[in-house]
Amino acid sequence: MERKLFTALHGEHATALNDTLSHQGFRRSQNVLYRPSCTDCAACLSARIDVNKFKPSKTQKRIIKRNEHLRRRVSSPWATDEQFELFRSYLDQRHADGGMADMDVFEFAAMVEETPIRSRIIEYSDSESQELIGVSLTDVLEDGLSMVYSFYNPDQPRQSLGTYLILDHIEIARESGLPYIYLGYWVPGSRKMGYKARFSGLEVYTGGAWQPLDDPAKFESKQHPLSTEPIAEQVANITLPDAMPYKG
């Protein structure tokens, strides 16, 4: 049974509240901040990259080079038909059984546009064809960028677009003098979230503090308290999107 701790995000103090709770592992979804608060499991760990400690691997350098043809465009959070078409294509191929699979264009627009804080839509397009390749809904915090939700063309697996979007956000943060990139939740052993642990400088929020993820294996060895089965086996097939439509 999944359980979340959440609070409404509105009013003149919304920005300060979002900054404060983001530092404590919360995530934003529209006008709600939430954090997993399950009684018998703590497998979902909030993750962020320390920009100053990040050094790209050889593979990540190749990914940057393969995507040199993409052009970045930053704008206010406004949903478009082109974004929604890309979003649907991404969900249908990557997360057809996930919690967002039935989102329509109105729910998508709400996810993008209903934000009480400083948010941006960052689009990536092919410099020649002008085709939209990737999109990230990104919040600007006092100490970094929070990648609320990202999606991209699923028909270009060789481009490693999900990784590239994070790499480019690291560059944006460096240019802006911001120390962190907030990535949402990392689940030890989950194949779908394993890419987050490949970034150097990664930290996870555990035990009431941010700690360097020097050895992911020490988290993967932990077991669910209600079972002798390792957590990795239980969560490997669970899809936990960084942003979920709030209906309530």
pLDDT score at 142: 96
| DSSP secondary structure letter of residue 23 | T
**Angle at which helices 58-66 and 161-176 cross, to 10°:** 90
The confidence score (pLDDT) of residue 41 equals 83
**Per-block average pLDDT, block size 10, for the chain (248 residues)?**
89 93 94 89 92 97 97 97 96 78 91 95 96 97 96 93 97 97 90 88 92 80 44 39 41
> Rounded distance, CA 184 to CA 35, Å?
10
Q: Is residue 247 one of the residues assigned to a domain?
A: no
Query: Per-residue DSSP letters for 175-202?
Result: HHT--EEEEEEE-TT-GGGGGGGGSTTE
CB 234 within 8 A of CB 181: no
Provide the b/e sequence for 124-154 (b: ≥16 CB within 10 Å).
Answer: bbeeeeeebbbbbbbbbbeebbbbbbbbbbb
- At residue 42, the pLDDT reads 83
Q: Provide the residue range defining the domain that includes 74.
A: 4-235
Rounded Cα gap, residues 2 and 37, in angstroms: 8
Tokens of 245: 């439509």
Beta strands 132-141 and 119-126, pairing class: antiparallel
pLDDT of residue 2: 81
pLDDT of residue 137: 97
Please report the pLDDT score of residue 239 as a whole number. Answer: 40
Residue 243 included in any domain: no
Tell me how far apart the alpha carbons of residues 53 and 110 are, in angstroms, rounded to a whole number.
Answer: 35
Query: How many domains does the structure of the chain reveal?
Result: 1
Residue 242 lies in a domain: no
Which pLDDT value is given to residue 220? 65
Q: Is 246 a member of any domain?
A: no
Q: Please choose, from the candidates 236, 243, 232, 133, the residue with its C-alpha nearest in 3D space to the C-alpha of residue 182.
A: 243
Q: How far apart are CA 223 and CA 188, in angstroms?
A: 11
What's the CA gap between 224 and 231, in Å, rounded? 5
The single-letter DSSP state of residue 223 is B
Q: What is the pLDDT of residue 236?
A: 38
Is 209 within the bounds of a domain?
Answer: yes
Which of 27, 148, 4 has the alpha carbon at shortest distance from 77?
148
CA distance 73 to 79: 14
Give residue 101's pLDDT: 76
H helix or E strand, kind and range, residue 219: helix 217-220
- State the CATH number of the domain containing residue 216: 3.40.630.30
In a domain, 38, yes or no: yes
Reading the block at residue 121, the tokens are 């839509």
Q: What's the pLDDT at 93?
A: 86
What confidence score (pLDDT) does residue 227 get? 41
How many Cβ atoms from other residues are within 10 Å of residue 199's Cβ?
24
Q: Is residue 173 domain-resident?
A: yes
pLDDT at position 68 is: 96
What phi, psi does 42 have (nearest 5°)?
-130, 40
Residue 241 maps to a domain: no
